[in-house]
């Protein structure tokens, strides 16, 4: 990660995460399935940072289910390490949203995992919802978050 990006990242919501022992497997590394969960944690953290928690979104009757997820494993993470998970909104058009993720070591010198998730917006009965109309405040927040994310170059 280049120096300019690193500086910018310090102002950006970066989710810090230690490895839990129960997340390791007999290869002595974090089992690959856990990163999908870390992505969810980083996504939740981003929403908290933006001032509109996912708990609030669900309590208001909306859900943001996952349509797809992808994960690329560059280097393993091990128990005892502190990692940094960066989540940024890659695209958002009011109906669909794509978030991209990077897991870095503590001093941002080694990329461990990259990934993405795509989402839609639904109500309690899984019927599609147009965020711009039904939750305009959240719509504005996603648009701002999208613009903030644009300033960070993920690999």
Residue number, 7 or 65, with CB nearest to a copy of itself: 65
CA torsion sign for 38, 51, 116, 154 is negative
H or E element: which one contains 66? strand 66-73
CB of 35 to a copy of itself, least distance (A): 9
81 φ/ψ angles, rounded to the nearest 5 degrees: -90, 150
CB 86 within 8 A of CB 17: no
Residue number, 60 or 153, with CB nearest to a copy of itself: 60
Active site residues: 25
CB of 4 to a copy of itself, least distance (A): 28
Helices 136-150, 34-50: axis angle to 10 degrees equals: 110
Residue number, 11 or 31, with CB nearest to a copy of itself: 31
Q: How is residue 24 written in tokens?
A: 């390791």
* Interface contacts to a copy of itself, rule CB under 8 A: 20-22, 24-28, 31-34, 36-37, 40-41, 44, 53-56, 58-59, 63, 65-73, 76, 79-80
CB of 16 to a copy of itself, least distance (A): 13
């Amino acid at each position: 990660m280049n120096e300019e990006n690193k500086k910018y990242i310090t102002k950006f919501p970066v989710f810090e995460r230690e490895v839990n022992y129960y997340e390791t497997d007999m290869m002595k590394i974090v089992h690959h399935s856990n990163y999908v969960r870390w992505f969810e944690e980083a996504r939740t953290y981003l929403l908290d940072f933006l001032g509109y928690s996912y708990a609030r979104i669900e309590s208001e009757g909306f859900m943001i289910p996952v349509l797809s997820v992808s994960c690329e494993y560059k280097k393993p993470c091990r128990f005892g390490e502190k990692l940094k998970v960066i989540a940024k909104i890659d695209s958002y058009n009011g109906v669909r949203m794509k978030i991209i993720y990077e897991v870095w070591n503590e001093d941002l010198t080694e990329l461990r995992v990259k990934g993405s998730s795509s989402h839609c917006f639904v109500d309690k009965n899984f019927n599609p919802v147009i965020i711009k109309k039904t939750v305009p405040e959240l719509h504005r927040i996603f648009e701002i978050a999208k613009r903030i994310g644009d300033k960070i170059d993920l690999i």
